[in-house]
Structure 1
Amino acid sequence: MRVAAYPSALATVVPAAVAVLKTSHPDVDVKLVDAEPSEAVALVESGEVDVAVAFTYHDDYEVGAGLTWRPTGTERVRLVLPPRYAGSRRPVALGDLGREPWIVGCSRCRAHLADVCRQAGFDPIEHHATDDYVVGQSLVAAGLGVMLREPGGDRGYDGHAPT
């Protein structure tokens, strides 16, 4: 079985799922491919992989004819803030971050960030770009910007982005 999944899912939920599958079906050979959602779905459509693990924001992605989309859960997208916010006496709202430099990811993640920031009354200042959560979190920890932690980057989510 060939499975394509976005990077943070490959680091979290996919290994656990493959381990369970291998326990119950030890003869199944699973090969994993790192691919962003639209690329992963295209790989299924082309027959290069059998399954895609993808995410969407508010059902913003359509799968092609002959494919089935099966939601497996929802996750809350979270703000990742530098240490200087740790002592804040009040919760930090998205609207408070209009002057901050942003660390952005894939094109769909950028579009989602732009949408939610505009709803909060500002356009994000895109300063750094990376699809790697470890890099993004390191940049935030160094005080170089703020970011949204997208689906799959942490297993403790409980809300908005169907995966």
Structure 2
Amino acid sequence: MKADLTRLQILSAVGRHGSMAAAADELSYTSSAVSQQISKLESELAVELVERHARGVHLTEAGRAVVARARAIDEQLDGMRDDLRELAGGFTGTVRFGVFPTFAASLLPDVVIGLRETHPGIRLSVHSSRIAPLRELLETRQLDLALTWDYPWNRTIDEGLTVREILSDSTVLIVRRDHELAHADTVELSDLSNDDWIVRAAGHPTAEHLWRCARTAGFRPTVVVEASDYQETQAMVAAGLGVTLCPQLATSYVRGEVVVKRLAASVPARRICTARPSDVEPSVASLRLEALLHQVVKGYNASRG
């Protein structure tokens, strides 16, 4: 049994007016067309829906039951249209968002709170990982938007991705509070040529960043610890095992035994970017998220002076 939605709407109009002619006027049909559509609906449902008489028509008991369901269907269709308007306007929907750990631990809470306050209908599905897996997820269309980062020597070049910079994340130095440079305003990397160094392990790009910058500064760093994350590197600095470089974003939480020092401009910053598949039209919801990211980063830049 299959009923045509238009014929259900015609039957509802007939029931409201008690007249084929009045229903025809409302719907811009002819009376004969309305009558034909009602007859076809009766055929589709194999039941008599109206009783015709000299003064008009009455719905049968079956007709009243069908109209009740038809009104519920109309309400559902109206709701669907509202949902689609909300979705098209970027007020609802799900955005699959990829982030790297230092962003997740520092600015992501601000993004989540901001999105909840400004666009409560948008659902955020977050995947936190290192950069290579995030790029794979973008390429396989498992993410709508992701954050990536790079240095001048390993720029992201991928024709399949649209990449936009949102933050220049300065490189900073972390030393113990009793280090001889702990009170310096700005530190030259060459001043640390005799120090022991702590780096990220497993070929992390920040380790290569140190090697490249040290070579430019005229020395070869002595690496004594390879740590798995930035909190671990801070712990090793606090223990007096050496000094370390890291992105400023990774210093949202600083141990009491260490201090963060600004480096001379000769040490490059890392570039943090949004990335999305180039061949996919972005949803309005994902564009709203990207705009919010810019606002959060603007606030972060203002807070650090």
TM-score range relative to shorter protein: 0.7 to 0.9
Alignment pair present for 1:137 and 2:234: yes
Offset at 1:115? 0.6
State the TM-score, normalizing by the size of structure 2. Answer: 0.48
Offset at 1:2? 2.1
Task: Please tell me whether the aligned partners of residues 206 and 246 of structure 2 are also in contact (alpha carbons under 8 angstroms).
Answer: no
Task: Please tell me whether the aligned partners of residues 150 and 156 of structure 2 are also in contact (alpha carbons under 8 angstroms).
Answer: no
Match of 2:105 among 11, 17, 21: 11
CA–CA separation in structure 1 for the residues paired with 2:226 and 2:183: 30
Task: Please tell me whether the aligned partners of residues 41 and 63 of structure 1 are also in contact (alpha carbons under 8 angstroms).
Answer: no
Task: Please tell me whether the aligned partners of residues 55 and 151 of structure 1 are also in contact (alpha carbons under 8 angstroms).
Answer: no
Offset at 1:37? 2.3
Structure number, greater radius of gyration: 2
- Number of the residue aligned with 2:271: 162
CA–CA separation in structure 2 for the residues paired with 1:94 and 1:25: 45
The one-letter code of the counterpart of 1:107 is H
- Number of the residue aligned with 2:134: 40
SS, match of residue 237 in structure 2 = helix
**What number of residue pairs does the alignment pair up?**
163
SS, match of residue 250 in structure 2 = coil
Alignment pair present for 1:103 and 2:212: no
Residues 128 and 48 (structure 1), Cα distance of their counterparts in 2 relative to 1, 3 Å cut? farther
Query: Which has the larger share of helix?
Result: 2
SS, match of residue 153 in structure 1 = helix
Worse-superposed segment, 116-125 or 48-57: 48-57
Offset at 1:79? 0.7
Worse-superposed segment, 148-157 or 92-101: 148-157
Structure with greater contact order relative to length (CA < 8 Å, sep ≥ 6) = 1
- The CA deviation string for residues 5-58 of structure 1, in whole angstroms up to 9 with x for no partner, is 221111111221122122222122212222222332222112222222121112
Where in structure 2 are the equivalents of 1:68-83 lying within 5 Å?
Answer: 68-83=162-177
What CA RMSD, in Å, does the superposition of the two structures yield over aligned residues?
Answer: 2.6
CA–CA separation in structure 2 for the residues paired with 1:151 and 1:57: 14
CA–CA separation in structure 1 for the residues paired with 2:149 and 2:248: 7
Query: Which has the larger share of strand?
Result: 2
Gap regions ≥5 residues in structure 2 = 1-94, 253-259, 263-267, 273-305
Offset at 1:147? 0.7
